[in-house]
């Protein structure tokens, strides 16, 4: 019986020693060139700099904001640049505050950068400042963004547009 206990203990020790020899894969990053790329894109968007913004993306990039990326084909870069033009044309300001940016690298070696921030903006002709949390997830290949997924509450934007529309009728 003592011999069986000894063999069990020996097997446990060898098992533990074997597990410790595996290198730990780093999958979470607070600093990386991909993170800097996303920061550059965010700054270019809020500063209405379409050339710099475009340079951060692959030619085939696709954009999904509050859309189903499984069934919706997403926007092209040209369509996204039209949104950029519209976003800044009717706002007094548009800025991201207190961003949190991180990169994860799952086992499949893809690079995903997540960007959380507080979006503050104000429509021209409206007295209400919009403050909403936003989240973007960026898929990056060869230091170019290939997919952008964005989620935010759209209701405050809709309400602001309705206030402006009602004020123009009066």
The pLDDT tens digits for 6-42 are 666 656 666 655 555 566 667 877 898 999 999 999 9
What pairing do the DSSP bridges indicate for beta strands 57-65 and 144-152?
Answer: parallel
Beta strands in the chain (DSSP E): 28-29, 57-65, 91-104, 111-123, 130-141, 144-152
Looking at residue 24, its pLDDT comes to 62
Looking at residue 100, its pLDDT comes to 96
The pLDDT tens digits for 110-166 are 899 999 999 999 999 899 999 999 999 999 999 999 999 999 999 999 999 999 988
H or E segment to which residue 9 belongs: helix 2-20
Token pair, residue 12, equals 């446990």
Looking at residue 16, its pLDDT comes to 59
- Cβ pair 127, 97 in contact under 8 A: no
- Cβ pair 23, 57 in contact under 8 A: no
- Cβ pair 117, 99 in contact under 8 A: yes
Q: What is the pTM of this model?
A: 0.80
Distance CA 34, CA 110 (A): 11
């Amino acid at each position: 019986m003592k011999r069986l206990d000894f063999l069990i203990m020996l097997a446990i020790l060898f098992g533990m020693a074997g597990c410790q020899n595996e290198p730990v894969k780093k999958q979470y990053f607070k600093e990386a060139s991909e993170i800097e790329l996303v920061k550059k894109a965010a700054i270019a968007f809020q500063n209405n700099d379409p050339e710099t913004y475009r340079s951060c993306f692959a030619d085939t990039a696709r954009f999904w904001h509050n859309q189903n990326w499984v069934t919706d084909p997403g926007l092209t870069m040209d369509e996204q640049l039209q949104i950029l033009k519209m976003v800044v044309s009717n706002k007094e300001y548009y800025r991201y505050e207190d961003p949190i940016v991180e990169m994860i690298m799952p086992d499949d070696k893809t690079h995903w950068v997540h960007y959380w921030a507080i979006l503050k903006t104000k429509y021209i002709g409206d007295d209400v400042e919009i403050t909403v949390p936003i989240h973007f997830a960026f898929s990056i290949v060869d230091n170019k963004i290939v997919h952008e997924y964005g989620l935010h509450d759209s209701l405050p934007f809709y309400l602001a547009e309705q206030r402006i529309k009602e004020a123009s009728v009066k």
